[in-house]
Amino acid sequence: MDIAALRAAHPDHWMRAAAIRTLTLDAVAAANSGHSGMPMGMADVATVLYSRHLKFDAAAPDWPDRDRFILSAGHGSMLLYSLLHLTGYPEMTLDQLRNFRQWGAITAGHPEYGHAPGIETTTGPLGQGISNAVGFAMAEEILRARYGKALMDHHTYVIAGDGCLMEGVSHEAIGLAGRHQLGRLIAFWDNNNITIDGEVGLSDRTDQMTRFRAAGWHVQEIDGHDPDAIDAAITAAKASPLPSMIACKTHIALGHAAQDTSKGHGALTDQGQLQDAKAAYGWTTGPFDIPAEIKSWWEEVGSRGATARAEWQARLDAQSERRQTEFARIFARDMPKPLASRIRALKKQIADEAPKVATRKSSEMVLEVVNPVLPETVGGSADLTGSNNTKTGDLGVFDTDNRKGRYIYWGIREHGMAAAMNGMALHGGVRPYGGTFMAFTDYARPAMRLAALMGIPTVFVMTHDSIGLGEDGPTHQPVEHLAISRATPNTMVFRPADTVETAEAWELALSSKSTPSVLSLTRQGLPTVRTEHKTRNLTAQGAYVLAEATGKRRAIILATGSEVSIALAARDLLQAEGIGTRVVSMPCWELFAEQDEGYRRKVLPAGPVRVGVEAAVRTGWDRWLCGERGREAKSGFVGMEGFGASAPADVLYEKFGITAEAVSDKVKSLL
């Protein structure tokens, strides 16, 4: 690559982009780790995007109508950190760049949502960012349809590398964007032909442009170092009604000795080579030293959006009071007042009527009540709408001719759905929930983990939550998925026992601002166990005494979900023999763990035998059985020890020994 020719062709542009390249080299050298090559290769695209197209105001990073920029190739985080510093985001100081990847710095190894304004999502696991971007773009479409262009009228830009496009989830994301003609979504492919192991051809020969075209995208190919070509391509992409992919032919680690090699992907810290690269750029200042005229040009870029933002604010201020309040509320993730009373009314009705229903159906009953008062909910399912019970009457279906639709047919794309839902939640103004089978949390898991890590309240509706689903057999019967979900920090896992607990779980999931929820719901019908109406949300305490022992308390049976009614039946057997037995329902372990010790002791006092019942593996149960004043010798578990089988549900419960008799026998063996 002839660096001198590039410099000569666009001297001003060159030096502005060189600021990104040199900051990257300096920060990676200071940390002695990181990824230099990607930011050096994509600096030209980023410079043109930020300076000529991106609608943003560095002084107001939360402006709801800003364009979103997502660095899907998150290992190239110095690209984003450099841009945020150069354009004048106050938090992104030079010191933060100097402390790249160090303890306490907001410049983590990969962009982390919440560390600094201007980072729209956590990327690093390749493929997530481009899939989040689909959700960002969908949220924008939905909100534009509802509030009009006056309030919502922006683009979502994403930079994806070869790695993002090789990851399977990108296929799901690309398909969704193409199907829904998300014309405001513009993806740049950093087409540098290099990954860690070597050239892309080692492991792939996909024609990416044909692939995107086949999925319904508008596709262009450009020299990713030519600012005019980049500008023209973005302009054309914006004009297209289709999502756009711009294949940017670039050179990884441009201008460095490691250019165009896999060595260029990683940390370029050799001081001699670093100085040679800077000399080739025509960069004469020292480490982290940006010449004043270059910095002020970038700062001007960062403040250019202030006028557009002020105009937007004036348009918002001119809206009706009601609309302004609602707009502010949905972006603040606040719940509207009527939610609590609607939930209470449903709970009362259910306690009176005591229906026998599957909790997936209970969930639908709750959503029928919730969705009309929460215009921000957007539901969906990965091709299991009738099984997940996620669609309610009033939602309408999101489509090219109905952007107001609040239900999304995600297709058989659990991972893409979860990642796009995260994108929606991050965009703001939308509360996404989506369903699949609990066993397929595995397929959605990388995005579920990121929801937890980012602290966003995505709701995962996971039905068919045990062997209780019956004949579909062990492939579909989760046994370890509750434990996996519970092992994930900052995740609320709800396994409600009946419709009342399901309503309470939904209320908590929707009230959360920074914790995702997994709703683990049954296929099979369950009796109502909460027949005495309580206005208070008992699930909020995570676990509570559902049935007290009669006489001296000698045993406590702890159960969740479908096994709570088994626990109650076991209690009947034990009480009939004069063994005082308490039943504790535990719909959300995480919330119970958060209660103070006094409450936990009240629910789980020392002394009585403890038996846990759950149609899943034991992992995690020991805290409640042996810990919390329990004793190993006086505790037992009735559940699954391996995978399930194909048979009717009641046969499976019998054969796997999850019955009232088995629980009662277990208690007696421990007395």
Ligand X SMILES: Cc1ncc(C[n+]2csc(CCOP(=O)(O)OP(=O)(O)O)c2C)c(N)n1
Residue 257 is encoded by which pair of tokens? 């000795």
As to burial, measured by CB atoms within 10 angstroms (0-12 exposed, 13-18 middle, 19+ buried), residue 499 is buried
Q: Which is nearer to ligand X, 255 or 644 (CB)?
A: 255
The answer to whether the CB of 333 falls within 8 A of the CB of 64 is: no
Q: Which is nearer to ligand X, 109 or 473 (CB)?
A: 109
DSSP 3-state assignment of 386? Answer: helix
Dist CA 502 CA 519 (whole Å): 8
Least Å from the CB of residue 128 to ligand X: 8
| Beta-carbon contacts of residue 404 (< 8 Å; ≥ 6 apart) | 142, 145, 146, 396
Q: Is 38 in the site for ligand X (CB under 6 A)?
A: yes
Closest C-alpha among 97, 250, 86, 100 to residue 160: 250
Dist CA 13 CA 230 (whole Å): 12
Dist CA 123 CA 243 (whole Å): 21
Of positions 82, 107, 122, 195, contacts ligand X by CB under 6 A? 195
Residue 382 is encoded by which pair of tokens? 């990965």
Q: Is 190 in the site for ligand X (CB under 6 A)?
A: yes
Q: Which one of the spans 192-200, 238-246, 313-321, 402-410 is the region binding ligand X (CB under 6 A)?
A: 192-200
Q: Which is nearer to ligand X, 73 or 567 (CB)?
A: 73
Least Å from the CB of residue 131 to ligand X: 11
Active site residue 480: no
Q: Is 34 in the site for ligand X (CB under 6 A)?
A: no
Least Å from the CB of residue 438 to ligand X: 23
Least Å from the CB of residue 81 to ligand X: 16
Q: Which is nearer to ligand X, 413 or 666 (CB)?
A: 413
Q: Which is nearer to ligand X, 162 or 376 (CB)?
A: 162
Of positions 16, 21, 53, 75, contacts ligand X by CB under 6 A? 75
Dist CA 1 CA 260 (whole Å): 9
Of positions 124, 129, 183, 478, contacts ligand X by CB under 6 A? 124
Q: Is 554 in the site for ligand X (CB under 6 A)?
A: no
Least Å from the CB of residue 194 to ligand X: 5
Dist CA 435 CA 452 (whole Å): 17
With left for phi above 0 and alpha for psi between -120 and 50, is residue 127 left, alpha or beta? left
Q: Is 111 in the site for ligand X (CB under 6 A)?
A: no
Q: What does the per-residue mask of binding to ligand X show for 259-298, with x meaning CB under 6 A? A: ------x---------------------------------
Type and span of the H or E element at 408? strand 407-409
Least Å from the CB of residue 356 to ligand X: 44
Of positions 88, 163, 423, 639, contacts ligand X by CB under 6 A? 163
H helices present in 563-648, as ranges: 563-576, 589-594, 597-603, 622-625
Q: Is 135 in the site for ligand X (CB under 6 A)?
A: no
Instruction: Name residues contacting ligand X, limited to 226-265 (CB under 6 A).
Output: 252, 265
Least Å from the CB of residue 415 to ligand X: 11
Q: Which one of the spans 30-38, 216-224, 326-334, 408-416 is the region binding ligand X (CB under 6 A)?
A: 30-38
Q: Which is nearer to ligand X, 273 or 387 (CB)?
A: 273
Closest CB to ligand X belongs to which residue?
161
Instruction: Name residues contacting ligand X, limited to 652-671 (CB under 6 A).
Output: none
The answer to whether the CB of 309 falls within 8 A of the CB of 64 is: no
Q: Which is nearer to ligand X, 254 or 518 (CB)?
A: 254
Residue tagged active-site, from 140, 326, 414, 501? 414
DSSP 3-state assignment of 61? Answer: coil
Of positions 133, 194, 384, 521, contacts ligand X by CB under 6 A? 194
Q: Which is nearer to ligand X, 194 or 559 (CB)?
A: 194
Residue 670 is encoded by which pair of tokens? 């421990």
Amino acid at 620: G
Q: Which one of the spans 59-67, 118-126, 230-238, 551-559 is the region binding ligand X (CB under 6 A)?
A: 118-126
β-strand 609-613 against 218-223: which pairing, if any? unpaired
Q: Is 191 in the site for ligand X (CB under 6 A)?
A: no
Of positions 8, 196, 239, 310, contacts ligand X by CB under 6 A? 196
β-strand 544-547 against 580-585: which pairing, if any? antiparallel
Type and span of the H or E element at 537? none
Q: Which is nearer to ligand X, 132 or 562 (CB)?
A: 132
Residue 150 is encoded by which pair of tokens? 């006056």
Q: Which is nearer to ligand X, 170 or 520 (CB)?
A: 170
Least Å from the CB of residue 582 to ligand X: 46
Q: Is 126 in the site for ligand X (CB under 6 A)?
A: yes
Least Å from the CB of residue 15 to ligand X: 23
Dist CA 570 CA 576 (whole Å): 10
Amino acid at 361: K
Beta bridge partners of 638: 613
| Cα Rg, the chain, nearest whole Å | 28
Q: What are phi and psi of 256, to 5 degrees?
A: -105, 160
Q: Is 73 in the site for ligand X (CB under 6 A)?
A: yes
Least Å from the CB of residue 79 to ligand X: 10
Q: Which one of the spans 122-130, 454-462, 526-534, 593-601 is the region binding ligand X (CB under 6 A)?
A: 122-130
Dist CA 169 CA 156 (whole Å): 18
Q: Which is nearer to ligand X, 118 or 125 (CB)?
A: 125
Buried b (16+ CB within 10 A) or exposed e, 343-370: bbebbebbbeeebebbbbbbbbbbbebb
If binding means CB under 6 A, how many residues of this protein chain bind ligand X? 20
Dist CA 67 CA 63 (whole Å): 9
Least Å from the CB of residue 96 to ligand X: 22
At CA 133, angle to CA 131 and CA 138, rounded to 5? 105
Question: Looking at the annotation, which residues are catalytic?
Answer: 414
**Residues making contact with ligand X (CB under 6 A):** 35, 37-38, 73, 75, 124-126, 161-164, 167, 190, 192, 194-196, 252, 265
